[in-house]
């Protein structure tokens, strides 16, 4: 039996959304004064980041961050540790665009935006391929969104269950028999 109950978002739909978001970034940053840096939030965003950076035509640089969350953080920013940080001396000259695969509680992006602004970034915006607004614990609005999705267990295109399924080219719904 397949572990995938159904395909929620196809490869083609992801590609069209990525093109749309890239065009929005091009429009918003074409006259940017400074460096434009896409910040990949490891590991889930790695596939979306790779596709998005190829479609954006304004010149971008890249960085990666990694966080680990623990507990059921209900306060702003949740309980989050930074494992890998953006470490560049010219951060005051950088417009950062944090690239996420999914926003759920909102804790990760709340934490990252605050952290990167505190480090002195010229600006920080956020992009997420998937948004689960029904799961939000802290109010957070991303600047660029691919798809709003219902509260289902999604995997593929970077997203995992127990580190599996990240390499699937589409977003699928995991069959509950896999995790129950």
Residues in contact with ligand PRP by CB under 6 A are 41-44, 69, 100-108, 160
Pairing of strands 171-174, 154-155: antiparallel
Q: For residue 161, what is the DSSP state?
A: B
Q: Are 177 and 160 in contact, with CB atoms under 8 Å apart?
A: no
Give least dist CB 106 to ligand PRP, A: 5
**Is 81 known to be catalytic?**
no
Give least dist CB 64 to ligand PRP, A: 11
Is residue 75 helix, strand or coil?
coil
Residues 6+ apart with CB under 8 A from 6: 172, 173
Give least dist CB 153 to ligand PRP, A: 12
Give least dist CB 91 to ligand PRP, A: 21
- Catalytic entry in 33, 104, 143, 160: 104
Which of 28/160 has CB closer to ligand PRP?
Answer: 160
Determine the length of the chain. 180
Angle of CA points 112, 113, 118, to nearest 5°: 95
Locate 40 and state its tokens. Answer: 């990949």
- Residue in the shown chain whose Cβ atom is closest to ligand PRP: 44
Which of 21/41 has CB closer to ligand PRP?
Answer: 41
Catalytic center residues: 104
């Amino acid at each position: 039996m397949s572990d995938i109950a159904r395909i929620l978002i196809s490869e083609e739909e992801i590609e069209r959304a990525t093109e749309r978001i890239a065009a929005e970034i091009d429009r918003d940053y074409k006259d940017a004064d400074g460096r434009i840096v896409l910040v990949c939030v490891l590991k889930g965003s790695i596939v979306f980041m790779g596709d998005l950076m190829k479609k954006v035509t304004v010149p971008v640089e890249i960085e990666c961050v990694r966080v680990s969350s623990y507990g059921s953080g209900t306060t702003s920013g949740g309980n989050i540790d930074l494992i890998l940080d953006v470490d560049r001396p010219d951060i005051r000259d950088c417009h950062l665009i944090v690239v996420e695969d999914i926003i759920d509680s909102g804790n990760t992006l709340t934490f990252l935006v605050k952290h990167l602004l505190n480090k002195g970034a010229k600006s920080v915006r956020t992009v997420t391929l998937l948004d689960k607004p029904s799961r939000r614990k802290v109010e957070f609005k991303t600047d660029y969104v691919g798809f709003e999705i219902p509260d289902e267990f999604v995997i593929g295109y970077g997203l995992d269950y127990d580190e599996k399924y990240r390499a699937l080219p589409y977003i699928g719904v995991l069959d509950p028999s896999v995790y129950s």
